[in-house]
Amino acid sequence: MITELVGAAGAGKTQFCLTLVVQCFLPETKGGFGANSGVVYIDTERKFSAQRLQQIAKARAPEFYDQRYCSEGIDNLRRLLDNTFVKDVDDSNKLLQFLNGIQPLLICGNKRLIILDSVAHLARKDFSAEMFREKQEALVDQAVLLKKIAETFKIVVVVTNQVTVRFGSDVYQVGIENSEYNENSFLAPALGNTWHHCVSNRLVLNNAVNSTSTSDSKLNTLTLSKSPIAPQIEGNYTICKEGIVMD
């Protein structure tokens, strides 16, 4: 099963991913997998920030990561960083090679979460408009591998996707607002319908709800637009020092 986070630039996709990393290491009683779990973070845009990860950890769970409230805070932060394997990937072929050889890494590190941030960046960079078929084949190959890994190792797989401009109506487009576009055009998830069928869950992050706000924490909406087990639902969230916080 693949869960996709889709949104325009600034919607908080990477912040969401970093929040998930912190959440993964929390105890099961707090909704995590435990301090001895591990994460594989595939970074295609060089947006991963160890400093921001630590900030989120200390703000979100000070009882585990802040030295002022936990005598083992520094050790827990070190474990968080050590058990988060960050892999920089700069083209689609290297991504497939990495996924094909990922099994030893997953076994030895008790990995419970894989994040691919972002799948769209490589697809857009590596394939021109004339290479549509090749791009779709590469995306399907990546999805097949990610699903196989998720099912074989019982691992959560999360990917981020970008948006594109569409004209007319599209059944797969859900509420990505932007004042620059009118009723004849809209922002929609990138990568097309083939990729849409590759993901099991789609979460749409929208940063247009409170675009005129002057507060430090910006209000956004999160829409579950696709799921095999849940109806479409929507809620608000903020991007703040704790990472992503649902309102």
Q: Answer yes or no: pTM beyond 0.85.
A: yes
- Residue 54 backbone phi and psi in degrees, to 5: -65, -40
pLDDT score recorded for residue 179: 45
- Residue 138 backbone phi and psi in degrees, to 5: -65, -40
pLDDT score recorded for residue 211: 46
Which ranges of the chain have pLDDT less than 70?
Answer: 167-185, 208-219
Pick left, alpha or beta for residue 106 (phi over 0 → left; psi -120 to 50 → alpha; otherwise beta).
alpha
- Residue 19 backbone phi and psi in degrees, to 5: -65, -40
The CA distance from 135 to 174, in Å, is 23
With contact defined as beta carbons under 8 Å apart, do 187 and 165 qualify?
yes
The predicted-structure confidence for 156-183, as pLDDT tens digits, reads as follows 999 999 998 776 655 444 545 554 555 5
Pick left, alpha or beta for residue 204 (phi over 0 → left; psi -120 to 50 → alpha; otherwise beta).
beta
Q: What tokens does 68 get?
A: 């002022």
pLDDT score recorded for residue 107: 87
The CA distance from 170 to 193, in Å, is 10
